[in-house]
Amino acid sequence: MNMSTFNLTPTPAPTANTGGPWVLLWSHSQNAFHIESFAEMLSSNRRAYSDDRAMDYVPLYAGRKDECHKISSAVRSTMIKRAEERVAGGRLTR
């Protein structure tokens, strides 16, 4: 695709959709999870690209919304451990 024809206009956020695809995102700076639709994630990424700003959220999993919640619950202990290590080490971020 020619970049000059690539439309960077953000698409509107989709209405409630539990079927998917959804993504589980992790923020390093906030040490937090976020779940949003794949369309919302792409729209946010396009806005960041257009604004020339960094994105902190890293996609960890894509699937149905309920799957994203299950995965976040399954790996939450790792996130909590990291938060405890950050506090013990006197640092908020890496």
> Phi and psi at residue 10, in whole multiples of 5°?
-60, 140
Model confidence at 90, pLDDT cuts 50, 70, 90, reads: confident
Predicted local confidence at residue 93, as pLDDT: 52
Q: State pTM to two decimals.
A: 0.71
C-alpha to C-alpha distance for 86 and 28, rounded to whole angstroms? 12
Whether the per-residue pLDDT at 13 is higher than 60: the answer is no
pLDDT digits (tens, 9 = 90+) for 26-62: 998 999 999 999 999 999 999 999 999 999 999 999 9
Please name the residues in contact with 8: beta carbons below 8 A apart, sequence gap of 6 or more: 46, 49, 50
C-alpha to C-alpha distance for 66 and 24, rounded to whole angstroms? 10
C-alpha to C-alpha distance for 81 and 17, rounded to whole angstroms? 32
Share of the chain above pLDDT 70, in %: 74
Which amino acid is it at 71? I
Q: In terms of DSSP H, where are the helices of 6-61?
A: 38-51
H helix or E strand, kind and range, residue 23: strand 22-27
Predicted local confidence at residue 52, as pLDDT: 97
